[in-house]
Structure 1
Amino acid sequence: MAEFVGPRLYSCCNCRNHVALHDDVISKAFQGRNGRAFLFSHAMNITVGPKENRQLMTGLHTVADASCCDCHEVLGWKYE
């Protein structure tokens, strides 16, 4: 039986680049435009796009798209 080694990680759905640790999950109860979304306290290996006002389910918020720094897949957004 293989032993679990290292922290549990969340990865880019496209290229598997590591983007967050399991310990950084604040909530799994968010709902995004395309389904279930997670809220993280910290993310890594991402690039952040320009700020914009966006109408979300909870109202108008200033956000910026967060993309994988390797393949540029949009992974979600960051509250600004």
Structure 2
Amino acid sequence: MSAEYSNYPSTSRLSPNPNPRRLPAPPTITSKDAKRTSRPLPKIPRALVCKQCGTCITSHNVLLPSSSIPPNSRAFRGFIGKASLFTEIYNVNLAKPGVQLMATGAHTMQEITCATCSTYVGWKIVRAHESSETWKEGYFLLELENLHLQTDLVDSANMSPNPRRTSSSGSDSDGL
């Protein structure tokens, strides 16, 4: 051995560890345990995007379930056509609240516009003045005419909420 390596211990002089840790033996797997259980995959969110610019506004996963809607209030109409109630929306701007007289009574609402292109997409129901309509408060009534269903799974997977996310529980009236 050369002199420059004389300060390093030789591997032959190393003693074994007097207290080696013993790892537990791996569990034995029987054929009963080896059977894999399958779990259903979560639904892939399909984005609803602004028809004008393609900005993600919401997802079909946050559509208000029909079990939450009274049976006599299922056909929602906006100012320009069919509409649906949603529990969450993204990438939008909300206008100041104002009172609108709808077919189902007076409602205090905020207009919803796309944050990217300022296209009108719907209303947020702040308050329903009729006691029979208060179940809508806090939900978002989006005009389906101004939204487009995104079919590209790569784009819909990028629906991460940004700071402009808005979430609530309640929506606009049937008679919009």
Given candidates 79, 83, 86, the residue that maps to 1:37 is 83
Q: How large is the RMSD of aligned CA atoms in angstroms?
A: 1.4
Question: For residue 57 of structure 2, what is the aligned residue in structure 1?
Answer: 19
Partners of 1:16 and 1:55 in 2: CA distance:
31
Runs of 4+ in 1 over 3 A off after TM superposition: none
**Which structure's relative contact order is higher, taking Cα pairs within 8 Å and 6+ residues apart?**
2
Residue 106 of structure 2 is aligned to residue 68 of structure 1? no
Query: What amino acid does structure 1 have at the position aligned with 2:48?
Result: Y
Corresponding position of 1:3 = none
The TM-score normalised by the length of structure 2 is 0.41
Tell me the distance in 1 between the aligned counterparts of 2:102 and 2:61: 26
* One-letter code aligned to 1:43: I
Identity %: 31
Higher helix fraction (1 or 2): 2
Query: Could you tell me the TM-score, scaled by structure 1's length?
Result: 0.86
Task: Structure 1: state its 5+ residue gaps.
Answer: 1-5
1:56 aligned residue: 102
Question: Which structure has the highest strand share of the two?
Answer: 1
Which amino acid counterpart does residue 65 of structure 1 have in structure 2? Answer: E
What are structure 2's unaligned runs of at least 5 residues? 1-43, 67-73, 127-176
Cα distance in 2, alignment partners of residues 8 and 37 from structure 1 = 17
Report the AA paired with residue 57 of structure 1. A
